[in-house]
Amino acid sequence: MYIPKVGSLKAPGYFFIDELWTQPEYRRFGIAYALMSRAEEISREAGAIGMRLYTGSDNAAARALYEKCGYKNLGCDACFMQKEWNNI
C-alpha cells in the first residue's frame, strides 16, 4: 500500500507492508525474504522514499526477518486498531 505525504498525492511517501506472511510449512526457505526484496524493488520503482511495516513486539521470527532486510526497530509501542463493517 502506498501512503503519500500529507497534502499531496504527488509528493514522495512510504510503501506500507501489510499482511506479509508464509504458511508455516513453507517457512525458512527464503520466501518471505524474496517477497520483501520484491516489494522494495516495486517501492523504489514507484519513487517512494522508504518502506514501513508493523509487527508485534512478541513476534521474534518476523522481527528477525525484517532486521535481516535492514529495517530498524523504532522502539515505539504501537497499538494496531481496526473497525469492520457488518454488511459483508
Tens of pLDDT, residue by residue over 7-32, are: 566 667 888 888 888 999 999 999 99
- Domain membership flag for residue 79: no
Amino acid 67: pLDDT:
93
- Give the pLDDT of residue 32: 95
Structural domain of 22? 2-68
Q: Output the pTM of the full model.
A: 0.76
Per-chain mean pLDDT for the chain: 85
* 19 domain-assigned: yes
Give the per-residue pLDDT at 5. 66
Residue 82 resides in a domain: no
**77 in any annotated domain:** no
Number of domains in the chain: 1
What gap in Å lies between CA 21 and CA 61, rounded to an integer?
11
Question: Is residue 63 in a domain?
Answer: yes
Between CA 66 and CA 84 the distance in angstroms is 28
**80 within a domain of the structure (yes/no):** no
14 within a domain of the structure (yes/no): yes
